[in-house]
Amino acid sequence: MRHESSTADIPRHGAVPRHIAVIMDGNGRWAKQRHLPRVAGHRRGVEAVRGTVRACVERGVQFLTLFAFSSENWRRPPDEVALLMQLFHGALTSEVEKLHRNGIRLRVIGDLGRFDARLRKLVEQGERLTAGNAHLTLTIAANYGGRWDILQAVSRLLREHPEAAHQGISETQLAPYLAMSYAPEPDLFIRTGGEQRVSNFLLWQLAYTELYFTDTLWPDFDAVALDAAIASYAARERRFGRTSEQVEEAKRAQTSANGALA
């Protein structure tokens, strides 16, 4: 069946992104620059997470997704991996109640089977406690990879609908099986630390996301740095395959519709 496109199909572009996804890079370099052990950078990075969550709530961001631990991070030195697990465990123990008091919903995505039972239980408890909150959905990607996400989604779809192997799979059919099926695709992707790549993060979901790279190391990322990223986003024209003229037509139509409802 042919889909008749319309300017009404173009997503609205607000000044504040609805969903921000972040690769929090630079903890180790931040510590090295100060002649400190890497653990100091990771601990300071946890403080930056708190500040970013607070700033997103204040600015009206509805979804914040943080890449905390990739499936490739297991290749790091064992003592650093152990430290990251301890920090994750400590954060879940100390922060979930605060998130709940502030109306923040916690979700954790990734292949959690490799984590120990205590950590998995804390994740389950945190998600259950905060399930009804609506001020902000904070998603932590842990042992996550974008390729893993697509493969697990296809596998789950085929288990439940084996006929799809012969009939073909559409994007609409696959979408509910992706790890972030509960959230809109990110509007803005931020990577700190100066690197300019997406590193196997949300490969499916970032198809039309605006990308923003900053040299700021994650422990130094604060509300001012967040505002700079949002300002860059707000200055861009998001066309989603359309022309600038179509985007402007959609804006005029939306403004006219809003006026008629007023």
Say if 184 falls within a structural domain.
yes
Residues classed as catalytic = 25, 73
Decide which of 201 and 249 is more confident: 201
What pLDDT is stored for residue 79 in this prediction? 86
The DSSP bridge partners found for residue 137 are 63, 105
Query: Does any domain span residue 7?
Result: no
Sheet strands (E) in the chain: 19-23, 63-70, 104-109, 136-144, 188-191, 210-213
The 3-state DSSP class for residue 21 equals: strand
- In the chain, what percentage of residues exceed pLDDT 70? 85
233: domain CATH number is: 3.40.1180.10
Average pLDDT over residues 215-230: 98
10 part of a folded domain: no
Domain assignment present for 234? yes
b (16+ CB within 10 A) / e for 20-56: bbbbbbbbbbbbeeeeeebbbbbbbbbebbeebbebb
Mean per-residue pLDDT of the chain? 89
- What's the rounded mean pLDDT across residues 55-72? 95
| 218 pLDDT more than 80 | yes
pTM: 0.86
Per-residue pLDDT band at 234 (split at 50, 70, 90): very high
Range of the domain at 238: 16-257
Structural domain contains residue 11? no
pLDDT digits (tens, 9 = 90+) for 120-176: 999 999 999 999 999 999 999 999 999 999 999 999 999 999 998 889 899 999 999
Instruction: Tell which residue, 145, 182, 180, has the closest CA to residue 67.
Output: 145
Q: Half-sphere exposure (CA, 13 Å, Cβ side) for 159? A: 7
Please indicate, yes or no, if residue 202 is contained in any of the structural domains: yes
Give the number of domains in the chain. Answer: 1
The pLDDT value recorded for residue 6 is 37
In a domain, 1, yes or no: no
Question: C-alpha dihedral over 144, 145, 146, 148, to 10 degrees?
Answer: -100
6 domain residue, yes or no: no
